Structure 1
Amino acid sequence: MIREQTGQNFMVKILNTLPSESGLTRIEYEGPRIALFSTNPAYFILNSNIISNMVNSVKKRIIIRTDESIRKSEAECADVLRKVLPSGVKISRLLFDPAVGEVTALVENLTMEYSMSDQDNAILSEKTGWRFLVRRAPKDFGIIEQINSILVRRANERVRFYKEVGEKIFRPRLNERTEVSLVFLGGFNEVGRSCTLVTTNESNVLLDCGINSFSSDMTTFAPRFDVTGLNIDDIDCVLLSHAHLDHSGFLPMLFRHGYRGPIYCSEPTIPLTYLLLKDNIQLIEELSFMGPTSKEIEDVITHMIALPYAVVTDITPDIRLTLANAGHILGSSITHLHFGNGDHNLVYSGDFRFGRSLALENAYWNFQRVETLIVESTLGGKEDILQPREETNQKLLELINSCLSRGGNLLFPVPILGQSQELILTLSGFAKTGMLSAKICIEKSIGEASSIYETYMECLSKEIRQELDGYSINMFKPPKSQIVESKKLRKGSHLIVSPSSMLTHGPSVGYLGQIYDDPLSAVVFTSQILPNTPAHGLVKGKKDVVIEGKMLNVECRVESFVDFTNHSDYGQILAYVKRMKQKLRKVIVNHGDKSKAQNLAGAINRIHRIHTQHPLVEEAVKLV
């Protein structure tokens, strides 16, 4: 007999628990949460144990919302907030979200020591009728404000959507038996279009939904949904590990074909995904496919539901989700899925770094239970061992000074997210210690991404959080640096940090066109070089390369420092598996070229004695 509580059962239980002074007006589904609407939210804020007891009783996530009848105007809210915040804390923006009754205050001079007390929160809720969140104000408000505009404009639609999602999640299970299978739709024995379908008796869930942005053939550009036998509206939800296009790029097209379900991810992943999708509309169109429309990108944002790390959340009647830090880029998540009543547990690494970087903490590994691990193999070859960062930094600094002393320029083609921020932090360290004095040009899209990093400072490494403690310090904008937009280089030496990393498109192509014939200048790659790209030809020593249809005879210096990668190397992947060894029954290798996936699978099998597979796209595996 199935013992799961139905939605009506636990709602009645909550109603019977609360006294009249709680001001409870109604209970609604809010996606994977149960929202309690109250005319007296201060009661719950000052009696937080009541919510804790309810959560323990009904085993569901509960959140307090203010009843619409008590919500004051935006001007009144701003006036009240200024009186509550400490003197010297300047409010830059107030972002209202009427769908959930929350206000995000973006403030300057926000320090790590400051957090709003329960007393202040209660005062604000009582006087304004809104719940307040406080965040560090970014240097560039563009992306954050655009997303807020979308959320406000589509607030009524989101309220209906949240209710529909909750009704599907909290319905009774139809079958007590647990069966779990995986269908590999992309990203296996290849890099790009990451997508895995997880199926149970009750659910169909996607792990990522990306594109191969270097393919112009639809059979290798997009996930192979044609092999599943499912309609798009049969998919219950998408779990997005992070914002990179090889994991997120097909989401707008999913909505084009009728998907209307939730996308679960960490909070920083929402603005970063929006930034990358908008930035790459032209790229997708250049591959001879109809790129995403603004409406489709808005659909993605409207259906994203942010979840914090380390919180267990029901996402279907028989699957519970927990996200954990992956250490790859801001907001990147390792996904833990708990099936049925603990019948099986799956961890999907996504892209992860099991080693400290300047920007982020080490990837999380200590899951209580995990029987199956899907792990990436981007650097799965035996030769893929990273050098200590100190050695790499010294070599990089010597190269920079060599070029600058001769009057040359340095171009760093980088992705918008991840390695660009790591490189900027490194250059910032050089500049602040007096080892670098050159002008640094940072392309606008990278500046926008770095600004989002600062807003979510709680997700950064401890060292960077301490550096950012105070609004005047900007670790992602080194001394003598400027934000530029496809700039024409003037006289003098420059360091240029610009996308794209493979020189297939974007501003870096234009900058290369200005320095390719200058033997005093250099192109410096800091990421893994993918085959069949202009970058690959240059790193392999080719002098004549075709870029955007134009043949260039490259005379500038070409260097590669892959040690700035935000992926785990061969040794780090094996160490990660070792940490879970006692719990694992099966390892499935993905996200790597065929040779690297095969090598890593063989090594895990041989060294750790764990059954390991490296399946192909279109294959399937039954777990339970």
Structure 2
Amino acid sequence: MDIRIKFLGGAGSVTGSKFLLMIDDFNLLIDCGLFQGLKELRLRNWDDLPIDPDSIDAVLLTHAHIDHSGYLPLLFKNGFGGKIHCTEPTRELAEILLTDSAKLQEEEAEFANRKGYSKHNPAKPLYKVEDALDVMHSFESHPFEKTFRIHDQIEVRFFHAGHILGAASIEVKIYTSQGTKKLIFSGDLGPMHSPLHVAPSNPPDVDILFMESTYGARNHKDQNLEAELRQLIMESDKLGGCILIPAFSLGRTQLVLYYLWKIFQNMRSRPIYVDSPMAISVTRLYKQFTSYHRLESDSEFGHHIFDAPFVHYVTEQSKSKILNTIKDRAIIISASGMATGGRILHHLYHRLPNKQDTILFTGFLPEGTRGKDIANGEPKVKIFGEDVDVRANVHVLDGLSAHADQDELMEWSGHIKKAPKMTFLIHGEKEQSNILKQRIEGKGWNVTIPDYLETFTLYDHV
């Protein structure tokens, strides 16, 4: 038996995660994400995969974020006929995120054609809503910590990664003539002490490790997030404006609501408008899957934080537009968190030129995203094909990140007592991965940072 790995994404970047594990003639794809961020990365979404989708036997999905799941409708459309295995919350979340991704692509293509600012004539979406709905029939969900078999010689187990609701690390056991070979894909690991999500489970000893490195060179600064957020609210009051928070619909929005709920127990509340149909749907799942996050066990902060009287959920687009007329003392949370699409663009279009308003980013912003440009102090950004002046006050609150930092990555990997045969650092920009590589190599481990489309032989004739 030969075992090889090919990096179809998530190598040298924090996006487009796709790892093709080839076990003789059985092709197993771990994650199937869209590339986001820099244009040169996004263009890869339009390239043919270097393997026919119909030759992929199964997909293992770590979690539902689009950079890990967003290519699935296209994979299915182009011939994939196997099963997509994931945890129970991930299956429900994937349906929400994939249909939303398709809808946004359709809307953006239609808008580009109407405004005539696309270089392509006509502009087309990568896939449509019907494609996203079709692929959902291929999903098969599994509980955490329950081993299941996808091949006579391959067993799989999901264990908690702590990143978002339902996020998993994946253990793959391959039974060979020379014994069992154990591979672990970390997926995206969450911080150890999130008030919202469970902590990542300790990994067992492993032969081949694939570990994310998003914050491989950084540690989240020790900060009082509640105090910082309270201070921003008071400063916004003095300016006489509103606070606009670009936030991911999944995880980040719910965490922001948690902190605002805590703050408003001890100060006058402001109306909070959650302007994202997807965030509203996701919040319902947090109420449904109570055993997959920490709120249900917290007697002080239960689910009612999502139903506080000052929280208003905006579903209709007409009501979303009315929010642009609010002048002060309101907080608007909208998606996407990187300001790459969604309703947030309309709010940014109207509020970026306003010196009284505050834009608050709440986490990692990859290079090439509109959010990164705004956070970096660019005087203008392009929205809907127009240059928009950036005069609003811009803040970045790093402590809300859903990713483990360098120390936490080291702590997680430190539970592996015996050095793996090989460790691959994935899902990280080069600088982040290189610094983490040096630190891990200090333990005597064999560490590799793969390149996009690079192939490695893990085992030969076993």
Choose which of 364, 370, 389 in structure 2 pairs with 1:528.
364
Matches within 5 A, 1:470-489: 473-485=303-315, 486-489=320-323
Alignment-derived partner of residue 402 in structure 1: 235
Q: For residue 507 of structure 1, report the CA deviation from its aligned partner.
A: 1.0
Matching residue's letter, 1:209: C
Alignment-derived partner of residue 250 in structure 1: 71
Alignment-derived partner of residue 269 in structure 2: 437
Say if 2:221 is the partner of 1:387. yes
Choose which of 16, 23, 26 in structure 2 pairs with 1:203.
26
3-state DSSP class of the match of 1:211?
Answer: coil
Does the 8 Å contact 1:324/1:333 carry over to 2?
yes
Alignment-derived partner of residue 104 in structure 1: none
Q: For residue 597 of structure 1, report the CA deviation from its aligned partner.
A: 1.7
Alignment-derived partner of residue 457 in structure 2: 622
- In structure 2, the CA distance between the partners of 1:467 and 1:559, relative to structure 1 (3 Å rule), is same
Name the CA distance, whole Å, in 1 between partners of 2:248 and 2:408: 22
Name the CA distance, whole Å, in 1 between partners of 2:30 and 2:6: 10
Alignment-derived partner of residue 410 in structure 2: 574
Alignment-derived partner of residue 559 in structure 1: 395
Say if 2:187 is the partner of 1:357. no
Does the 8 Å contact 2:156/2:171 carry over to 1?
yes
Aligned length: 436
Matches within 5 A, 1:590-609: 590-605=426-441, 607-609=442-444
Matching residue's letter, 1:615: P
Name which one, 1 or 2, has greater alpha-carbon Rg: 1
3-state DSSP class of the match of 1:340?
Answer: strand
- In structure 2, the CA distance between the partners of 1:354 and 1:564, relative to structure 1 (3 Å rule), is closer
Alignment-derived partner of residue 459 in structure 1: 292
Does the 8 Å contact 1:210/1:222 carry over to 2?
no
TM-score (norm 2): 0.89
3-state DSSP class of the match of 1:402?
Answer: helix
Q: For residue 184 of structure 1, report the CA deviation from its aligned partner.
A: 0.7
3-state DSSP class of the match of 2:307?
Answer: coil
Q: For residue 222 of structure 1, report the CA deviation from its aligned partner.
A: 2.9
Choose which of 218, 223, 227 in structure 1 pairs with 2:50.
227
Does the 8 Å contact 1:203/1:318 carry over to 2?
no
Name the CA distance, whole Å, in 1 between partners of 2:203 and 2:295: 20
Q: For residue 334 of structure 1, report the CA deviation from its aligned partner.
A: 0.3
Does the 8 Å contact 2:290/2:296 carry over to 1?
no
Matching residue's letter, 1:419: R
Does the 8 Å contact 1:184/1:618 carry over to 2?
yes
Moved more, 271-280 or 236-245: 271-280
3-state DSSP class of the match of 1:482?
Answer: strand
Q: For residue 512 of structure 1, report the CA deviation from its aligned partner.
A: 1.7
CA offset digits 1:527-586 (Å, max 9, x no partner): 111212222222112222222212122211000011100001111111111121425222
TM-score (norm 1): 0.67
After superposing on structure 2, the runs of 4+ consecutive aligned residues of structure 1 that deviate more than 6 Å are: none
CA offset digits 1:446-477 (Å, max 9, x no partner): 121111111001101166564676xxx52223
- In structure 2, the CA distance between the partners of 1:380 and 1:464, relative to structure 1 (3 Å rule), is same
CA offset digits 1:361-392 (Å, max 9, x no partner): 1101242x4111111111112xx111235x23
Matches within 5 A, 1:111-260: 178-214=1-37, 220-222=43-45, 226-228=49-51, 231-260=52-81
CA offset digits 1:403-452 (Å, max 9, x no partner): 02442100000111122211111111112x22351110012321211111
Alignment-derived partner of residue 278 in structure 1: 99
Alignment-derived partner of residue 164 in structure 2: 329
- In structure 2, the CA distance between the partners of 1:475 and 1:551, relative to structure 1 (3 Å rule), is same
3-state DSSP class of the match of 1:374?
Answer: strand
Alignment-derived partner of residue 316 in structure 1: 151
Q: For residue 224 of structure 1, report the CA deviation from its aligned partner.
A: 6.8
Matching residue's letter, 1:439: P
Name the CA distance, whole Å, in 1 between partners of 2:234 and 2:450: 46
Does the 8 Å contact 1:282/1:291 carry over to 2?
no
Does the 8 Å contact 1:427/1:478 carry over to 2?
no
Q: For residue 208 of structure 1, report the CA deviation from its aligned partner.
A: 0.4
Say if 2:129 is the partner of 1:294. yes
- In structure 2, the CA distance between the partners of 1:388 and 1:280, relative to structure 1 (3 Å rule), is same
Does the 8 Å contact 1:348/1:373 carry over to 2?
yes
Does the 8 Å contact 2:102/2:129 carry over to 1?
no
CA offset digits 1:112-147 (Å, max 9, x no partner): xxxxxxxxxxxxxxxxxxxxxxxxxxxxxxxxxxxx
